[in-house]
Structure 1
């Protein structure tokens, strides 16, 4: 399974229970949802978009994702992944 988590960032004004989040991404939607299921992330938190689909993970859940094999990546790596996705669906 090729899943990725980026750096945790703070969103103090998000108005949510947690304020520290990262993104969970994957090479395929199936891999993404499989990891989300493994870490107990409800499907309602899936952020669907033609090429930026992902889950926002609270910091404590990121730790679990990494323990289960998610690869820690940089924002540059995330940008490259999203660029590939755009190209694959034919958006320049």
Structure 2
């Protein structure tokens, strides 16, 4: 399992941002917590990820995250999106039981 960060350099609200993803949701959240990110910053609507500033990106790389290209980032997001769907289905099935 691994955590990945891109170098997208998206300019928004006066900062430069990129994306943090992982092979699994648990791994992503654990790594994000180690970086000091709040769980409420997790974005799950379209593609599950955390947006991080370039300085946080550097910290993530120093902590073992892998510099990733767009294809890797999108692939991880798709995988985590399926994981989120499975979790939602499992929790709704438990609620109905």
Q: Equivalent of 1:63, from 26, 34, 58?
A: 58
Residue 47 of structure 2: aligned partner: 52
Unaligned 5+ runs, structure 2: 87-97
Is the contact made by 1:8 and 1:59 (CA closer than 8 Å) also made in structure 2? no
Instruction: Please report how far the alpha carbon of residue 83 of structure 1 lies from its aligned counterpart in structure 2 after TM superposition.
Output: 4.3
Instruction: Please report how far the alpha carbon of residue 87 of structure 1 lies from its aligned counterpart in structure 2 after TM superposition.
Output: 6.5
4+ aligned runs moved over 2 Å, structure 1: 79-90
TM-score, normalised via structure 1 length: 0.76
Unaligned 5+ runs, structure 1: none
**Residues of 2 paired with 1:79 and 1:68: CA distance?**
22
Q: Highest CA radius of gyration, 1 or 2?
A: 2
Is the contact made by 2:48 and 2:81 (CA closer than 8 Å) also made in structure 1? no
Give the length in aligned residue pairs: 85
CA RMSD of aligned residues (A): 2.2
More helix by share: 2
Is the contact made by 1:23 and 1:56 (CA closer than 8 Å) also made in structure 2? yes
TM-score, normalised via structure 2 length: 0.73
